[in-house]
Structure 1
Amino acid sequence: MPSGSLDKPGEATITRNDTDAIPEVDVTMDMLLNAHENPEGWLMYLGGMRNQRHMQNSAITKDNVGDLSLEWKMNVGVTPGEYQGAPVVVPGDPPIMYQTNGPDHLRAMNARTGDVLWYYNYDPKVEVGDPPANRGVTVLDGTVYFTTLDLGIIALDRYTGEEQWFFNQAKEYREKKVDNPNTELVEDTSWARNIGFCSGIPPKPYDGSLLKGSFGGEYGVKGWIDSVSLDGEHEWRVNTVPKDQWVGDAWKHGSSTVWQPPAIDPDTGTAVYPMGNPGPDFDATVRPGWNPYSTGKLALDAASGEYKWHYQESPHDWWDYDSPSPAFIFEAEARGETRKMASWPGKTGWLFTFDLETGEMITRSEGYVDHVNMWELPGHEDVDAMAWSAPNLLGGTDPQPPAYDPTTNTAIVKGDNRPWKLSWTDAEFEAGKQYWALDGLELPPPEDAEIDGWNGKPGVIAGIDPVTGEVKWQNWREITPWGSAMTTDTGITFAGASNGNFLALDTETGEELWSHDLSVGVGGAPASWYDPAEGKQYVAIQGGGEGPLGGFGEQGDVFAVFSVEASMDMADEGGSQTTTTGGSDGSSGSGDSGSPDDSDGSGDSTDGGGSDSTPTSSGSGPGLGVVSALAGIGSAAAGYALGSGTDDDEE
């Protein structure tokens, strides 16, 4: 098994400017365990160990949010990458920001000014990777841990950018399959650039280790989760395609990769991982059975990798209904007792909530997108054999992380609401090529299409009660929204829109309170911090070229930081404060959004099947009767011969 060294397949360049400006601040594991309580930094990509993306003690209120102004903005350089990440901000004087964009660019910056203190760029020197995005870093002690597109973890000195070690998660795979000069590469596209294993998510720190999964679900890989020590030594691996639970040899190319970091509850030591599609996409005849652990969530012991429970939203999947959005963990009253729960939105267009320890389903929400002819089997090499259906392969919710406000018990999700048609063809594995069976695709539908059950809106931002499953509000959008959201304890949700606007919404109603036009598709993840020396609360966002299948919104490369002058009463856990505010600098406040989107803050919700609070075991899910029948169809094809070329003895 590979271990950390400076032996890496690619090459890196490091540009250093004023590295002495980075103050020495020891980012301890205790700080990360309590990151959600520290208002002076944004210490983790998903806001904290439990992935709530929630800002406590925010100085931005509904009274002063309209006074947010643009503090600074930069163009990071046009690259082939999407801009999906969130910066990590370490408290200090000045605060230091670690900002990434795809596929392999990392900057250490003065968070007050945007001055670049050092810049690291990695070139993998091998054709790898979808998506060409990087979603953030992990900072611990004096090290910043950065994922490279070729499925490596690079440890850098956070003060200088100097390389410390490189861990190659895909070393054995590439030596056998990819480093072949005769391999024919798949033609470059805007959303799936190549072959084999890749990644773009930060490793998750826990108990002296880094936890990280793999990408590459469309290329016939076999997914896994690794635990790596802080000095780059491999500790354990969990294969997310369990050989003994798959029929025949289908496990060898069963995918089930991990698109986002896990949510971890430090109290129970439970880690919940988001699981990708089974391989191949769309042709389920070659992989009979349920195809665990694909298309749902997998709960493991965070320290050992021991199995706890799993749930599949779409067992024996035909539609690419994987579950790439990360879960968040929270505690609330449910069924008459206080419980720790894990909740997440799915491509299937529902928010699922489970008891964290038992794996019991608490609820499946009302549909937050339209459900039209769902679970209809696609046609074989005939796209017109399938009626218009929704959700499509992008959701519901794709990798967009949710946010959760514990003060109002509201989960914020983004969703794709466009119907589609697809057809499949026969899939055969060939090393170095895409392993999926998409034959025909109609997405989006024609502008004049009249589809029963569809409201005609391409996308939505929604607020949902994760305990009851009630859809509190839906803010319908004219372009499918990408990226993540962030909530504050003052009742504000920050989110990007694909029409170019960065938005502040009322968390309880969805009403638009403020917006700023960045003129690019805003698909990044917001981050916020308070700078006591400046007396300002900051909010950062990046955008440009977001989303697969051609992208959502205008292309670009914008990174922007906004601020409002405010003083904060740090002693009040509820985040009450007195504020003084400055000018708006071109941003619009409440009542003047300047947005062409149709923002409906009503409490109306679509009928997507309602609430399902029946406890379920692993392998069951919404539409179970239909999916069970499809599993039977797949079982009849158990004798299908798969291509060879993986490690037969690896389990």
Structure 2
Amino acid sequence: MAAAAVLAWLSPDLATADPVDDARLLAADGDAADWLLPGRDYGARRFSPLDSIDTSNVKRLVPKWIYQTGYAATFQTSPLVADGVMYLTAPFSHVMAIDAATGREIWRYEHKSTAKKLCCGPANRGAALGYGKVFVATVDARLVALDQKTGSPIWDRPLATAGGDERSEDRGALGQGEGALKGEVSGATGVGANSAPLVFDGKAIVGVTGVGYGLHLDSPRPGAPLGAVVGVAGRFGRPGFIAAYDAASGQEVWRFDATRPDWEGEFAERTAYGVPLHRDVAAEKAAAPDHKDAWKTGGGSIWHAPALDPERGLLFFGIGNPSPQAAGESRPGDNLHTSSLVALDARTGRLVWAYQQTPHDLWGYDVASPPSLFDVEIDGKKIAAVGQASKLGWYFVHDRETGKLLFKSEPYSPQSNMFRPPTSEGIEIAPGVAGGVNWSPASIDQSAGVAYLAAMHWPATYRARTLPAADGKPEVRYFSIEPATSGMYGLLTAIDLKSGGTLKWQTRTPEPLIGGVLATAGGLVFSGEGDGDFSAFDAKTGEKLWAFNAGAGVNAPPIAYRIGDKDYVAVAAGGSQIWGFRQGGAVIAFGLPD
């Protein structure tokens, strides 16, 4: 049987589907059946208009199929659905197309990594569709275009050289006998890519990760969360960047670097929203002449797919912490534009505005959760806004055109000792390096004016350490961030965007919430936990209405789609090594009984 005939037999929709072109992507918000973009629409609102699964019948929800990828590792994919076919990425950047009604595999692409060592683990957060191709950014910092019908590679382009000339922190230089630093290295400064690309105007847009990652040390206890993050003063890594690539050829069209020669900024003593930073600005300015080139290894990873305003031609995304992580003395200044929300001209990559949430970041406060686009009304005037769920514990809402802060929410996670520098004795800070909201995508119900967030309380102890010069080796200054091992919990949160960011409700969960949320027109909010529970909550009250235990951590963003007259909710269940959640390799689709 010919290949085309096999595909038609397996999935008629794949063989006869309409092309996913610019017109279809621009209209994605009005396509209730499919999930064509990483955030469902260019505004990255992750809100499904499907309503047949609602508060009255969600208790009847059952698994309709389970697909096993064959890889039990940190699983963070957000699947795409087009014309009855689901496209998903597995750990290590493998890609699969499956029948979205049955879970049967149609094709599989096995990625062959060229990296000798991964900077940031095997996780991948999703693919992109467009122009007859499936695009995936890979753990070894490549962008690959696959044939949408067959999964065959069309082109494969390097984003950067993974494991190349970049210098990484050295575990051997640290205090081997210190209890908090005994774990094996599971990650270090490097370069890779794990976020989904965004397809627009004939281009695939994607950023790199790992460039400000620091040294990650596993806990010596199996199944426990990360033992410590270590930053060493010095020069490690390279600037992060986001770039656009021609979808037909893979050639780079434009690039925006996260750090530049003017990155020292104004040496701000307070954040742009008025919170003291407790910086020794005089000491930083005195050291600045010796660190003029620090921006060349300045970090600033891109951890998510951008949001896009096609009408204004603006691209919105967050940038991660500077490099070296936690060790600020070798990078004086504000370290622009790390730990910032940024708007670019989507066609040229030109900077339009940037809003730095944390100048001179010592705490790992990446702007890691994808921003979302919506309208707000202030003083009777409708304003096109962009919102972002921060690791700081506030939801920031900005004017989309100017970047002006319109408001920030009430805190949605506990805050203590914020922006206090590390000490030799150690100081406990909340939110810690895990954040209030980590990379987890939010969901926005535009009509109700509510943002739903997967947040957490997970404090960490920050310490400054010095290894004295000895045996001909110079003094080493390093900083450890040690997440708490008890007392952590999750906070599913609803924020009222109509009232300037008050909290409508919060539901506390036993496990910290990592992975994101899905809100639907059925009045439901779906989210998962590391213990394997995948749950549905009442969008008006936060009451838990239904739960299913998947057997592995549900630490990925759910999606919703329709085939014929049947609605589905699907999510990856594969846990996360870094958080100590049980790993697996399943995607599960739920629906009402036939």
TM-score of the alignment, normalized to the shorter chain, above 0.5: yes
Greater strand percent: which structure? 2
- 1:314 deviation in Å? 1.1
Listed as ranges, the gaps of 5+ residues in structure 1 are 1-14, 428-435, 448-455, 565-581, 584-651
| 1:61 and 2:54 are equivalent in the alignment | yes
* Amino acid in structure 1 at the alignment position of 2:512: T
> Is 1:19 matched up with 2:7?
yes
Letter in 2 for 1:399: W
The equivalent position to 1:495 in structure 2, one of 503, 527, 543, is 527
Check whether the contact 1:55–1:488 (CA below 8 A) recurs between aligned residues: yes
Partner of 1:463: 494
1:490-639 correspondence to structure 2 within 5 Å: 490-532=522-564, 535-546=565-576, 548=578, 550-551=579-580, 553-564=581-592, 582=593
Partners of 2:5 and 2:172 in 1: how far apart?
41
The letter of the residue matching 1:129 is C
The alpha-carbon distance between structure 1 residues 295 and 143, as it changes in their structure 2 partners (threshold 3 A), is same
- AA aligned opposite 1:31: R
Aligned mates of 1:29, 1:221 — CA distance in 2: 34
Determine the structure 2 residue equivalent to 1:646.
Answer: none
Q: For residue 113 of structure 1, report the CA deviation from its aligned partner.
A: 1.1
> SS of the counterpart of 2:25?
helix
CA–CA distance in structure 1, aligned partners of residues 462 and 182 of structure 2 = 22
| Percent of pairs with identical residues | 29
Deviation digits for residues 506-539 of structure 1 (CA, Å, limit 9, x no counterpart): 112111121111122110111111111xx21011
**Which ranges of structure 2 fall in alignment gaps of 5 or more residues?**
175-180, 214-235, 265-287, 468-475
Q: Is the 8 A contact 1:58 1:530 kept in 2?
A: no
Residue among 372, 394, 405 paired with 2:434: 394
SS state of the match for residue 32, structure 1? helix
Amino acid at match of 2:405: M
The TM-score normalised by the length of structure 2 is: 0.83
Match for residue 223 of structure 1?
240
**1:117 maps to what in 2?**
106
Shift of 1:176: 4.3
3-state SS of 1:528 partner: strand
Is the 8 Å Cα contact of residues 327 and 479 (structure 2) preserved in structure 1?
A: no
In structure 1, the partner of 2:309 is 265
1:137 and 2:127 matched: yes
Q: Is residue 39–residue 58 contact of structure 1 (8 Å, CA) maintained in 2?
A: no
Partner of 1:613: none
Shift of 1:415: 1.7
Distance of 2:103 and 2:440 partners within structure 1: 26
Q: Per-residue deviation at 1:222?
A: 0.9
Rounded Cα–Cα distance in structure 2 between residues aligned with 1:300 and 1:422: 34
Say which SS state the counterpart of residue 23 (structure 1) adopts. helix
Distance in 2 (CA, whole Å) between partners of 1:184 and 1:34 is 53
Please say if residues 32 and 44 of structure 1, whose CA atoms lie closer than 8 Å, have aligned partners that are also in contact: yes
Residues 486/364 of structure 1: CA separation in 2 closer, same or farther (3 Å cut): same
CA deviations 1:7-61 (Å, max 9, x no partner) are xxxxxxxx99943333321112111112121121111121111110011243222
| Aligned counterpart, 2:43 | 50
Change (3 A) 1:189 1:198: farther
The separation in 2 between residues aligned to 1:458 and 1:364, in whole angstroms, is 23
Amino acid at match of 1:221: R
Residues 504 and 345 (structure 1 numbering): CA distance in 2 closer, same or farther, change over 3 Å?
A: same
Amino acid at match of 1:89: V
Instruction: Tell me how far 1:503 sits from its aligned partner.
Output: 1.0
Instruction: Determine the C-alpha separation between the residues in 2 that align with 1:524 and 1:18.
Output: 32
Contact 2:75/2:573 (<8 A) preserved: yes
Whether the 8 Å contact between 1:281 and 1:438 is mirrored in structure 2 is: no
For 1:140-539, list aligned pairs within 5 A.
140-171=130-161, 176-177=165-166, 192-194=186-188, 196-216=190-210, 217-218=212-213, 220-231=237-248, 232-246=250-264, 248-379=292-423, 382=424, 384-386=425-427, 388-425=428-465, 439-444=479-484, 447=486, 456=487, 458-467=489-498, 468-532=500-564, 535-539=565-569
Structure-2 change in CA distance of 1:114 and 1:141 (3 Å): same
Cα pair 1:17 1:118 within 8 Å, conserved: no
TM-score by length of 1: 0.76
Query: CA distance change for structure 1 residues 37 and 462 in 2, over 3 Å: closer, same or farther?
Result: same
Amino acid at match of 2:560: S
- d(CA) in 1 for partners of 2:143, 2:173: 25
**Change in CA separation of 1:262 and 1:444 when aligned onto 2, cut-off 3 Å:** same
Shift of 1:558: 2.3
